[in-house]
Chains A and B, each alone.
Chain A
Amino acid sequence: MTRLLPWAVVAAVLSGVTANVLRLRGEVSLAGPSVAAQVLDVVAGAALIMAGAAHGRGRGRWLLPAAGAAWLAAEWANPGAPGAVVFTVGLVAFLAPLPLVLASRWRRPLGEGRLAPAPSRWRQPLMGAGPAVLLATAVLLGLAGAVLGGPLAAAAASPRDAACTDCPQDLIAVAHNVALSTRLARLGGLFAIGAALAAVAWLAVTLASTHRQPRRWLSSPEGAAGAAAAAFAAAVAAGEGVILLSEPASAPATGWHAAAAVMLLALSAAVAVPVLRAARARRVVARMAVEVAEDPRRSAADALGAALHDATLSVAYPMPDRTWRDRHGHVVVLPDREVTLVTDSGEKVAAFIHDSSVRIDRVSVTEAASAARLLLDTERLEASALALVNDLSTARRLAVEAADAARAGLERDLHDGAQQRLVGLRYALGLASAHAERLPGRDHAARLADADRAAELALASLRDLGHGISPGTLTAGGLAGAVRTMVENAPGPVTIVELPTERLPEHVERTVYRFIADFLATAGRMPPPGASIAVRRSGQDVVVEVEYGRAGVPASADPATDPAVAHLADRVAAAGGQLRHDDRGGRQRLIASLPCG
């Protein structure tokens, strides 16, 4: 705020001079004899200087302060002015506020190199060709009017020539042609009226091009400022019109002047409110950034949501693979609306997804985003690291699932194809031997029995093969039955301590089954007491506990480096679980926890 201090001094000095002029000769001022109108007059000028200075950035930052200064200076063309210099300045500035105010509505490109919200479809109508031409016309007409009615009229004749005996000297008067001066002043008024018409047309065309949301635009700072500027132009023009029509005597237009002052106040508010709001947003974010950094449960979205008054605000980050992710690395699909992109020199930094009913203005977003810049960058880096981890674990899970699905498909093919045909063969052999028993000679029957035994063995080995690939009983009968069958076929002693009686989600059952199958393949040959297996629910998890080896006998392989254990750990990790190991005096224990939500 210290950068505003020189502006405050300027505003105070100019207001002071004007107030003094009004105090001395208020009855012939533009504001008129009313003290209230005079106060309004001075406050409007000072407010415009300060609001313009606070808001200002970019090339046009001096326009509003200049307009405010010109507004105050216009009153100096008054016999009460302290000296010729001030009086002359007043004459020159007479019609200057109008083009300055209108020019300030020219849409400035946002400062480069700063965090800026990219334009989104609904919020701000772009300055199209039509509105741009109209606004430029208004500015140029206003400028011409200001030159004609100000310096040129003052050069043509001094007010002293027009019988204002107590007026200070007009320093730029080069002639004493009162008629010319009056004509120039009137011409300036006409141009001002033209400028006002163009400004009103500009407002109308802009409203018509706001995608059927003119109200929304009008209530945005940009729209409110535009409307106030156009209304100011209209009030100035109305005042000029009153003066023009009142020929020959110049009638006072104090009412319209007061209306113009009110419009300047509205313009100041429209310009200052978002600045104050943005300053608050920046303060809130800066304060919360510290809290967020200390508390891993909180995020940049919390800080930004508090700063921008939207508790539902969430933040998505752009990834190198062109997806958007939240801070945990999960993919986010950006909604069509209610998104504000934050960019830095054209590079996307983040996207704020917000409540459509909460209006978010560009300046606040910019301020909040730049205050949260470090947080946003940290979260974006975290998100991209986590995105990689997520993608890898998804890929691993998909690989395991695809392998399991392929096993199941293979088993089904075996069952539906070769196995059924072998069973059919045995039916045919059975039929043949039933016939053969009625034939003379026992040879046929014995040979058919041999053939049937061969078919039976083929079927049995095929069945074992199929079952080893993927147990059909698992999907149909559940984990408990399938594990019992598997344990019964294990080569060594295996104790079942506990199995769940209820069905678990299919992929969990498959993982547990394959885990136990892989375990028994290596540990199933253990001498007594052999291996033991326990599967139990524990809250949201399923815990598989397997034990092997004999207490007091060192394990044959260190589980930490055993490739078989690493394989088990892989399978568990692919299902999103964890494998732990402990050694109870030689008896090894593996504990796998699998999420079972």
Chain B
Amino acid sequence: MRVAIADDHVLLREGLARLLAEAGMQVVASEGDIDSFLPAVGASRPDVAIIDIRLPPTFTDEGLRGADLVRERHPGTAVLVLSQYLDPGYAFRLLQSFPSGVGYLLKDRVSKVAVLVDAVERVVAGECVVDPSIVSRLVNRTGLTEPLSALTPREREVLGLMAEGRTNTAIGERLFLSERTVEGNVRRIFDKLGLADTPQDNRRVLAVLAFLRA
């Protein structure tokens, strides 16, 4: 697995590189800002680009824009955005533009090698990865707006796991449900969100987007 890293902190770049090396991955590029990172990605064609959300010059959302550019110019490279904050808005923006092969994780969660490897492998496989802590906060929040407030707690749970990027099978395993039950829940979620008539793949993404946006 070939990885490129964009983070303006040398310390973190190196720490992350060593973690990835520990997991048997190869760091092929490592840059401190988007302007030098994009050509490096173009030259090394990594399987995945790991990008810190806060990068120079304004330290706001350069990383998010960089992620968009990488996905746009190099569709073969998956993107994992790391953030110091849990902001559903960022996750929403990321998934809205590229609903596959992207992930949004809390920065310090990746210090667990297993979590890091899992996330990298899933985005490279084309899945969406959203930090579970964002999802759990969204699931447990108060004051949900229509139409999400119409969901039952079980359906909300299923939608949360969908938002993390899990397949129906994985959701079933997690919740100790049969796959058919999960499918039934998913269908009801689509109905309640008014997504019944759209194609299967889009529906899943749209449901997650509705969830993140609410």
Contacts and interface: CB of A to CB of B under 8 A. Distances in A.
B89 A480 contact: yes
A459 B12 CA distance: 14
Interface stretch (A104-112, A302-310, A378-386, A427-435): A427-435
A415 to B, nearest CB: 6
B88 A459 contact: no
B142 A467 contact: no
Contacts of A421: 11
Contact of A427 (B15, B90, B145): B15
Contacts of B110: 427, 430
A472 B85 contact: yes
A496 B142 CA distance: 10
A463 B85 contact: yes
Interface in B63-116: 64, 84-90, 93, 107-108, 110-113, 116
Contacts of B142: 493-494
The interface residues of chain B, by DSSP majority, are classed as helix
A481 B111 contact: no
Contact of A481 (B12, B60, B88): B88
B90 A477 contact: yes
Given A415-B54, A434-B22, A420 B88 contact: no
Contacts of A283: none
Interface string A484-506: 11011000011110000000000
B174 interface: no
A536 interface: no
Nearest to B113: A434
B60 A472 contact: yes
A19 to B, nearest CB: 92
A452 B85 contact: no
Contact of B143 (A412, A429, A494): A494
A423 interface: yes
Nearest to A474: B60
A426 interface: yes
Interface string B130-173: 00000001000111010000000000000000000000000000
B95 to A, nearest CB: 14
A427 B143 contact: no
Contacts of B22: 431, 434-435
Contacts of A495: 143
Contacts of B86: 485
A459 B107 CA distance: 11
A475 to B, nearest CB: 5
A424 B61 contact: no
A402 to B, nearest CB: 20
Interface residues of A, number: 39
Nearest to B61: A476
B143 A422 contact: no
A419 B143 contact: no
Interface in A45-101: none
B9 interface: yes
Contact of B87 (A422, A429, A430, A477): A477
A119 to B, nearest CB: 54
A415 B59 CA distance: 10
Interface string B12-23: 100110110011
- Residue from the set B12, B54, B87, B90 with the largest chain A CB neighbour count within 10 Å: B87
A456 interface: yes
Contacts of B19: 427, 430-431, 434
A497 to B, nearest CB: 10
A505 to B, nearest CB: 16
A412 B113 CA distance: 28
Given A424-B11, A428-B15, A478 B89 contact: yes
Contact of A424 (B12, B89, B112, B113): B12
Contacts of B54: 415, 472
B87 A473 contact: yes
Given A427-B15, A496-B143, 10 more contacts: A415-B54, A427-B12, A430-B112, A456-B108, A463-B85, A472-B60, A473-B85, A473-B87, A484-B88, A494-B142
Interface of A: 412, 415-416, 419-424, 426-431, 433-435, 452, 456, 459, 463, 467, 472-473, 475-478, 480-481, 484-485, 487-488, 493-496
25 contacts: A412-B59, A420-B9, A420-B11, A423-B108, A424-B15, A430-B19, A430-B112, A431-B15, A431-B18, A433-B113, A434-B19, A434-B23, A456-B108, A459-B108, A472-B84, A472-B85, A473-B89, A473-B90, A475-B60, A476-B61, A477-B87, A484-B88, A485-B86, A485-B88, A488-B137
